[in-house]
Amino acid sequence: MIPPQEASVRRREIEDKLKQVSILSSFESRLMKLENSIIPVHKQTENLQRLQENVEKTLSCLDHVISYYHVASDTEKIIREGPTGRLEEYLGSMAKIQKAVEYFQDNSPDSPELNKVKLLFERGKEALESEFRSLMTRHSKVVSPVLILDLISGDDDLEAQEDVALEHLPESVLQDVIRISRWLVEYGRNQDFMNVYYQIRSSQLDRSIKGLKEHFHKSSSSSGVPYSPAIPNKRKDTPTKKPVKRPGTIRKAQNLLKQYSQHGLDGKKGGSNLIPLEGRDDMLDVETDAYIHCVSAFVKLAQSEYQLLADIIPEHHQKKTFDSLIQDALDGLMLEGENIVSAARKAIVRHDFSTVLTVFPILRHLKQTKPEFDQVLQGTAASTKNKLPGLITSMETIGAKALEDFADNIKNDPDKEYNMPKDGTVHELTSNAILFLQQLLDFQETAGAMLASQETSSSATSYSSEFSKRLLSTYICKVLGNLQLNLLSKSKVYEDPALSAIFLHNNYNYILKSLEKSELIQLVAVTQKTAERSYREHIEQQIQTYQRSWLKVTDYIAEKNLPVFQPGVKLRDKERQIIKERFKGFNDGLEELCKIQKAWAIPDTEQRDRIRQAQKTIVKETYGAFLQKFGSVPFTKNPEKYIKYGVEQVGDMIDRLFDTSA
């Protein structure tokens, strides 16, 4: 049995535990009730939050949609006023309009608002196109001739180390043009601005090149030589002047001819049916120089135009736009080149080879420039690329014809008695032929290629330079051979064989000295090693022929024709008469020859002195011996009538031969 006290304690413990269990059960019950009441509230709260978010999104979407309905009114003023001076703001407005167009097209294609924003977008696009045209027109400037000349000379002038930069458009304008171009391509779906671009730039390019040509004409008429100031960036306060590099034209050959005339080698105008080269108009050189510089200018400016175009025009349109851009300037150059060919063709007909010679420096420059031309025209149409090669072919063909016709004219130049030089000096045919050949020295490769181009149907470029050089040497020898044959024919016009000999001597001597002084002799020697020796032999032969003209003077007093008599024995009448006839024959012959030959000419001072001295020696020795033998013989009562001249007097008379001023 459990004691009552212990049982009471345990009962209290059990009651306490039951009480705790009751409390826990009650708490759990309350929690369940709380949970059952809170969960619906929480769910309602979530629903309310979701509803609120949906409302906010709906309101936001509504605001966004409503904003499209305000785009037209918000941007109309900006679009109406145009993009000038505020391009960024303008493009921002165009972006809003474009989005509105897209919204209405997708969501409300029948909405009147769509037409509004569409119309506004088109107006804005037109304004941007107009702004593009306006910027290009206002800021595209013709490049000055001075700057072009600096640009051209920059490649060759070692002193001009600084690059000559062309700023076609100010930087700020360029950036605006680029922005508009990109917008028109990406959003405007418009390519018309590319046509606007090439038309404006094409005009500037064409005008720049024409301005350079006018600069040459004005400069040559005022000062004789076009000048270009040094690069402006160096020292603006003290610009220097540098002459434009003049290509090798006939001027060099003319200067050589002037040098020869100073040494007594110049020819007189004879009966040549060739128009005199030395009478060539300086305007031909101006035209030639101008054209050559315009060709170089085209290459440099076209390169610069492509650099500008590459920033503005989309890549896949660049080649086509560039092709269109350069056409006017290129066609102008090609037309002018064909006009030069046409003028040369007409000149050949009238034997005006001075005009034909303009083809040589131009053709040489075109061939030298062709690699740059080809590089610039990469990607252009075949018709564009073929223009320069076509012109080069035309010039080679007409040049080859000029060479052929010149050689024929040298051979067939008519013998006109009234046109032959009366004094036997160098014929104009000779001076013209030599002058023409000297000109070829500056254009050996060009002339050789001309001749090679006519050899077969193959291109001349397939031939080696050595082959071309041999062809040119053969041609020069042909001209010289034709000239020699013609001179022989012409010399027969003279009735006096001595004058004929002087004529041939003068011409052969002129040819030889000209060949030697101009280094043509080296070119001749490529195919004719003995040409120089041959000319010297011809010259000596003519001197000997001339000297025979004095035999009719010296034969009167030659030892073999004199009477033999015994010293101290009185002369018979027949012997006295013979001596008288010998003196008279010598005197008359001497006077006649001196009178006639005094009017003849030997322009070469050295040759003139040599011929005089040789003749003087022969005549003085013969006359001196005759005078010594018969001067004191009493063959006449009037010795002064027959012994008219002393030995030195005779020498003085011969010294005055070939000297019209004496």
- What span, in angstroms and rounded, lies between the C-alpha atoms of 475 and 590? 45
- What span, in angstroms and rounded, lies between the C-alpha atoms of 362 and 247? 9
User: Which tokens belong to 468?
Assistant: 């071309």
CA atoms within 13 A on the CB side of 619: 30
Closest CA to 437 of 512, 343, 506, 362: 512
DSSP helix/strand/coil, 243: strand
**Which pLDDT does position 247 carry in this prediction?**
43
- What span, in angstroms and rounded, lies between the C-alpha atoms of 637 and 631? 13
Contact call for residues 488 and 504 (beta carbons, < 8 A): yes
User: Which tokens belong to 133?
Assistant: 């045209």
User: Which tokens belong to 388?
Assistant: 């320069």
Whole-angstrom Cα Rg for the chain: 51
Q: What DSSP string runs through 144-155?
A: PHHHHHHHHHTT
Q: What DSSP string runs through 572-638?
A: PHHHHHHHHHHHHHHHHHHHHHHHHHHT-----HHHHHHHHHHHHHHHHHHHHHHHHHHTTS---S-
User: Which tokens belong to 548?
Assistant: 């025979």
Contact call for residues 597 and 552 (beta carbons, < 8 A): no
How many residues belong to the chain? Answer: 662
Q: Which residues of 368-398 are buried (b: 16+ CB within 10 A; e: fewer)?
A: ebeebbeebbeebeeebbebbeebbebbbeb
Contact call for residues 546 and 506 (beta carbons, < 8 A): no
Contact call for residues 120 and 100 (beta carbons, < 8 A): no
Contact call for residues 602 and 611 (beta carbons, < 8 A): yes
- What span, in angstroms and rounded, lies between the C-alpha atoms of 559 and 574? 18
Q: What DSSP string runs through 57-78?
A: HHHHHHHHHHHHHHHHHHHHHH
Closest CA to 494 of 507, 482, 481, 483: 507
pTM of the predicted model as reported, rounded to 2 decimal places: 0.76
**Which pLDDT does position 583 carry in this prediction?**
92
- What span, in angstroms and rounded, lies between the C-alpha atoms of 580 and 566? 18
Contact call for residues 227 and 219 (beta carbons, < 8 A): yes
Which DSSP category does 227 fall into?
E
- What span, in angstroms and rounded, lies between the C-alpha atoms of 475 and 448? 9
- What span, in angstroms and rounded, lies between the C-alpha atoms of 582 and 552? 11
**Which pLDDT does position 414 carry in this prediction?**
80
Contact call for residues 444 and 469 (beta carbons, < 8 A): yes
DSSP helix/strand/coil, 288: helix
**Which pLDDT does position 271 carry in this prediction?**
52
Contact call for residues 169 and 311 (beta carbons, < 8 A): no
Distances (CA, A) of 127 to 12, 88, 319, 509: 102, 14, 27, 80
Cβ neighbour number for residue 577 with a 10 Å cutoff: 14
User: Which tokens belong to 231?
Assistant: 């690069």
Handedness of CA 20, 26, 28, 31 (dihedral sign): negative
Query: Which residues face 243 on adjacent strands?
Result: 227
pLDDT < 50 positions in the chain:
59, 63, 157-161, 224-264, 269, 277-280, 457-461, 662
pLDDT 10s digits, 190-242: 788 999 999 999 999 999 999 999 998 887 766 544 444 333 333 333 233 33
**Which pLDDT does position 597 carry in this prediction?**
94
**Which pLDDT does position 163 carry in this prediction?**
57
- What span, in angstroms and rounded, lies between the C-alpha atoms of 434 and 425? 15
Distances (CA, A) of 59 to 55, 62, 65, 127: 6, 5, 10, 36
Contact call for residues 556 and 585 (beta carbons, < 8 A): yes
Residue type, 562: L
- What span, in angstroms and rounded, lies between the C-alpha atoms of 243 and 226? 7
What are residue 518's phi and psi, to 5 degrees? -100, 5
Distances (CA, A) of 377 to 321, 324, 327, 384: 12, 11, 11, 8
- What span, in angstroms and rounded, lies between the C-alpha atoms of 504 and 489? 10
- What span, in angstroms and rounded, lies between the C-alpha atoms of 279 and 354? 9
Handedness of CA 429, 431, 432, 438 (dihedral sign): positive
Contact call for residues 142 and 207 (beta carbons, < 8 A): yes
DSSP helix/strand/coil, 231: coil
Closest CA to 395 of 366, 435, 373: 366
**Which pLDDT does position 148 carry in this prediction?**
93
- What span, in angstroms and rounded, lies between the C-alpha atoms of 298 and 329? 7
Cβ neighbour number for residue 236 with a 10 Å cutoff: 8
* Separation of first and last alpha carbons in the chain: 191
Residue type, 546: Y
**Which pLDDT does position 466 carry in this prediction?**
87
**Which pLDDT does position 462 carry in this prediction?**
54
Closest CA to 542 of 596, 488, 595: 488
Which long-range contacts link 106-115 to residues 24+ away (Cβ below 8 Å)? 107/65, 113/68, 113/69, 113/72
